[in-house]
Structure formats: structure tokens, C-alpha cells
Amino acid sequence: MAFRRPLRETSPGGRPAREAPPTPPSEAETLRGTSGTLRAVIERAWERARGFAVPADFPEARYVEVDSDCPLTRVAQPVLRSAVDRMSGIAVVGMLADRNGLLLSHSCGERSFERQLMDSGPITPGFDFSEISMGTNGIGTALAIEHPILIDGGEHYAAGGKSYSCGAAPVRGPDSDEVVGVVNFTCPARDSSPLLLAMASSVAAQTERELMIADRAGLAISSCSDDPTALRALMLAERRRHALRRRLHRAALLAATTDLRNLLSQVMSVAAQMLPIEAAWVLRSQESGALRVVGTWGDVPADALGASVAAEVTESLLHAAGARSTGGQAPRGSSAGRLWMLPGRLGPAGTKLVAAIAPSRPGPPPQPEAAGSSERTAPTALQPGRCVVVATLGASLEAETRDLLTEIATACDNASRFEEIRRQAASDALTGLPNRRRFMELARERFTRAQRDGRPMAVLMADIDRFKQVNDAFGHATGDRVLIAVAAAIRSALRGGDLVGRIGGEEIAVVAGADALDLAERIRRAVARTDLRTARGPLHVTVSVGAALQTADDEALGDLLDRADRALYAAKSAGRNRVVAS
């Protein structure tokens, strides 16, 4: 499969030649930095833009003629359109650009937003999004660093991008690590959502898979070109496999993207119509390297969910999942018998079992092989969060089933990433409590229900006493330990229906119902019992709590929060380590 060489190599118009990509950013840099400061990856991008003399106000738009019917577009556009179709009526646009940052195609979920972008020009084919032309932006920066990136409105270099946020992910070519294009999702909001990055990464991964399949099919057809009978048989087989992949892909898109179990049920209902699959497991890799059952289908007991897979079984499964690189046979030394020791395994020992993983995501380069080694070996470890799909068969159709399971594993990997990114987007990384955004969303819902149903509601605001002095005297590492301990103490005092979140530096809010003042006192006492051991001796921690009970005068949640905040400062003024109600 041929792709055009990068424009940067030929340096048209005297532009500098393309340099080696910078060091990929960390996961934290990829998502977002601390509010009010530029992430290091964005600072480096801005430095590149200044080096290219890109105007910071409104760079001159540059267009280059492109081949909109190139192999990348033919493969990626249906995948991009399917993803955007699920967001009909939502102001988001998905874009596909080539390796030079030139726009090839787009798909939009909301027509007025599409017209707005078309009026300003950025979604016209051939528009140059490279950093050399536009400075820091999703497409150009993802290509420059050859890594997925999430960019807030204020992180765009040019003024024209300040009202938009985007997530972009490079697409790599078949049988190489070379970037051949990029997928980008943009929405009209200054604060970006990690889901933009998840969507871009998901479409990029599916596109890479389709490119690999199309490339291999082309090579196979070329090798049979002198045998008309073999060529017809191969083309029929490829059509069948292509139809199966499309049906699976549609089923995966219709499933709830972040609900892995629902996704598995949807895609397996399609797969079982064509292959004799009896049961299936989805196993997710943990930080420890172990595999845990996160989804099952078919003849598997319910109590298998959540079970961990034994270490020796994990090793054998990973070897079996990587057997495609060794001619379809498990590498020598793996124990096939251990594969039957899966949690909830019920079938007879003679039933066929097939395992598969999705193609690897971009990551650190592989380690050099040991001297004298000529055989590729199957993987022995997976990145945390990646999935292995295992199925039992009633007939020997291992090759076809492994192809199918690889497609399912890719869908499960994407669902796992959506799930993790959604969790990260809603949680405070230090304490594990819901962050301010998530807390406010849930608190508004609770306030609306309380007004409608006439139920009692209260807001408690807890603030750690003398927290600045703790940081100054003991250091920020101890301050972090204090925050973690206080969050745990507050959680221990809550009841089942209470809502809690970290809404500021050392400020934690709680939404409660009846007996909120009793709860506030329990929280104060629970924290007061917390003593931390430090190098300078024990550290006693207390909190002040302000409580506000909802009244008929509270027209919005903000009214209740303001009164709780005033009560908190009254508690501070009265001597700290106490509860004051408003």
C-alpha cells in the first residue's frame, strides 16, 4: 500500500526539513496540565511555532491540492463517519488529515457547527494544519510529536483556535511504525474533554487495523494473480471476512461504548451467527501484570466475573494470543493444558480454545532481541488496561475465530480506554474523590430532585485547618498525605446516599439529606482522630465545617453553596475544629 512521502522532506517553498519527532509526552501531559499554566508539551509546541514565525493572531490559511480518494481516506472515512453518526446533533467534528497535516475529509455531528467551520475555512480539503502553517493545534502537534494529544482552547497558538478544543491521534501504517495520517475531533469549547482524545484514539486504532487487513489482502491477491481459481477463492474469502468485520464494527458502535459487558454481548450475538463459539471471556491486564475477568458471554458462570487468572495460565494465554506471529502455533514450551484452567471453565477438555489481543498501541520501542535469536516470540506482558479475548469453539475454525477475536479485542480495548478516561475525568487524582466538575454535576441533579420532591437537603463545606502552615512546615509531600487521610476520614463518616467531592485545594464538600448537622459533627470527629507520623513527629489534623440546610429561598445550588461557605468561614473565625450552621 503506497503513501505519498512527507512534504517536509522536500521542503517546498524553502521550508525547513522535517526533524525527528520530539520525545513523546507523558500521560499527564497528553491529557491536560494544571489550570492556568502551560504543559511542557505545549510550551515546546509554542517554541516550534515561534521558530517557524507563525503569526500568533491569524495565520494565513494555506491550501495544497490533495488526493481525497487515497487509500487512507478510503479506509478511514467509513470508520470516522460511523463514530460521528452516533453523535448526531452534537457540536463535534471529526477530521482526517494526511501525514503532512493536509485535511483529507471530515464528518460533523451538528450542521450549524459544520457551517460555522466551513465559513472560516478549516474543514476544506487541502487545508494545511501543520505546525509550520498554523502553530500549535491538534492535527499539527499530534503529527509533530507522533503521539496522541488533547489541546484546550487556550493552548492553541493562533488566536483563531482559542474557542475550540480538540483531541488528535496519529495513524500508523501497516507493518511499520511510520505515521501516515492523523484523526482529530474538535468541539466548540475552551475546556477540552478527555473523551475527545478517546474518540480520536479509537478511530485511529480501528483505521490502523483496517489498513493492515487491506494491505495483507492486496499482497495475498498479488501472489495468486497467476491462478484464476485461487484468486476467485481468495477474493470470496476476503469479502466474507470484510462483511464480518463490518457487522462486528457496527455492533460495537451501537453498544454502549464505556460498558464493556454490554459491548461484548452485542458483538458476540453477531459473531455467534457465523462461528461455532460456545463461550467467551474478556480479561483485562492489571497494574500487577495479572489478568482479571471483566466480561463473559455464553456458557460461563456469573461468579467468574472479577476472578483473577493464575500466573501460569496468564503466561500461556499471552503466548496463545501471540501465536499469529509464529505461524498459528503456540510457541514451544507453553502449556496448552493450562489454558483450560480459566475461571468458570465448564466445557470438555477436547473443545478448541482460541485467544487474541488487539494490535499494539503506540508505545516504547521494543527491546533488541538477544543475540542468536531468529524467532519472534509471543508477548509475555500487556500494558495495564489492555484486553485479551478468549473463546471456546465447537469446531476447528481457529484461524477465522482468531481474526474475529482480534476485532473484538480491539473493541474491548477501546471500551476499556473510554472507561478509564471517563473515570479519570470525573475523579481527583490525589484523593480519589469526585472532582469539582463531577461533584457539581451530581449536586445540581440532587438539588433539582430535592426541590421537586420536597426532600430535605444540605451542603457541608469542610476545610483543613492551617493547611498552608502544614505545607510550609512539613512540605508538600506531607500536605498530600494529609489530604488523602482527611478524604478517607470523611468518607468513613458518610452514609450510603451522601455525595462527596474535592472542590478546591483543601476544601471538600458533602451533599447530605436529613440529620446533616449530626453528619457534620461525625466528619469533624473522624478527622480529629487522624494523626499522621512524620519525620518531625506526629501531626494532628482538624477541619472546620460549615453547614447550610436548604430553604425555600434557595433558588439554585449556588445559593446553598454560598451559605455553606459563609458558615465555614464563621467556623474558622470562631476558633477552627468546629461546626457552624447557616
**3-state secondary structure string, 195-243?**
HHHHHHHHHHHHHHHHHHHHHHHHHHHHHCCCCHHHHHHHHHHHHHHHH
Q: In the CATH hierarchy, which top-level class contains the domain 436-581?
A: alpha beta
Q: What are the pLDDT digits (tens) for 264-307?
A: 777 777 677 667 788 889 988 888 888 899 888 888 888 888 89
Instruction: Identify residue 233 by its one-letter amino acid code.
Output: A
**Which of the four pLDDT bands, split at 50, 70 and 90, describes residue 376?**
very low
Residue in the block written with cell 468541539: 187
Residue-wise DSSP of 323-376: GGGGTTSPPTT--GGGGG--TT--S-TTSEEEEEEPPPPS-SPPPPPPTT--S-
User: Angle CA(33)–CA(35)–CA(38) in degrees, nearest 5?
Assistant: 55
Note the pLDDT of residue 18: 43
Which stretches of 442-487 are assigned E, i.e. beta strand?
Answer: 458-464
Instruction: Identify residue 180 by its one-letter amino acid code.
Output: V
Grid coordinates of 462: 469542610
Residue in the block written with cell 492556568: 36
Instruction: Name the more confident of 11 and 146.
Output: 146
Pairing, β 165-172 against β 179-187? antiparallel
d(CA 231, CA 239) in angstroms, rounded, equals 12
Q: Which residues of the chain does CATH 3.30.70.270 include?
A: 436-581
pTM for this prediction: 0.49
d(CA 176, CA 172) in angstroms, rounded, equals 7
Note the pLDDT of residue 479: 93
Write the CA distances from 45 to 141, 201, 236, 286, 470, integer angstroms.
7, 20, 48, 33, 37
Out of 19-28, 205-214, 462-471, 533-542, pick the least confident.
19-28
d(CA 106, CA 124) in angstroms, rounded, equals 9
Note the pLDDT of residue 232: 60
Q: What are the pLDDT digits (tens) for 499-522?
A: 999 998 899 999 998 789 999 999
Note the pLDDT of residue 226: 57
Q: How many secondary structure helices (H) and strands (E) does the chain include?
A: 17, 16
Q: What is the mean pLDDT of residues 453-457?
A: 90
Picking from 179, 153, 154, the residue whose alpha carbon sits closest to that of residue 166 is: 153
pLDDT > 70? residue 328:
no
d(CA 548, CA 571) in angstroms, rounded, equals 13
Residue-wise DSSP of 242-265: HHHHHHHHHHHHHS-TT-HHHHHH
* CA dihedral sign of residues 227, 232, 233, 238: positive
Which residues, in sequence order, are CB contacts of 346 under 8 Å at separation 6+?
A: 279, 299, 300, 301
Picking from 410, 413, 442, the residue whose alpha carbon sits closest to that of residue 426 is: 442
Q: Which residues of the chain does CATH 3.30.450.40 include?
A: 7-17+28-212, 239-359+380-426
Note the pLDDT of residue 347: 54
Beta bridge partners of 548: 459
**Which of the four pLDDT bands, split at 50, 70 and 90, describes residue 242?**
low
418 φ, ψ (degrees, to nearest 5): -55, -45
Which residues, in sequence order, are CB contacts of 187 under 8 Å at separation 6+?
A: 90, 91, 92, 93, 164, 165, 166, 193, 196
Residue in the block written with cell 471538600: 508
d(CA 184, CA 171) in angstroms, rounded, equals 11
CATH code for the part of the protein at 239-359+380-426: 3.30.450.40
Residue in the block written with cell 451530581: 442
d(CA 106, CA 409) in angstroms, rounded, equals 27
Instruction: Name the more confident of 18 and 172.
Output: 172
User: Angle CA(440)–CA(476)–CA(192) in degrees, nearest 5?
Assistant: 35
Beta bridge partners of 297: 280
Element at 400 (helix H, strand E): helix 398-426
d(CA 53, CA 231) in angstroms, rounded, equals 54
Q: What is the mean pLDDT of residues 121-130?
A: 85
Q: What is the mean pLDDT of residues 548-565?
A: 92
Beta bridge partners of 63: 127
Instruction: Name the more confident of 410 and 245.
Output: 410
Mean pLDDT of the chain: 78
d(CA 550, CA 556) in angstroms, rounded, equals 10
Right CATH number for 7-17+28-212 from 3.30.450.40, 3.30.499.10, 3.30.2310.20, 3.40.710.10? Answer: 3.30.450.40
Instruction: Name the more confident of 88 and 123.
Output: 123
Q: How many whole angstroms from its chain centre is CA 405?
A: 21
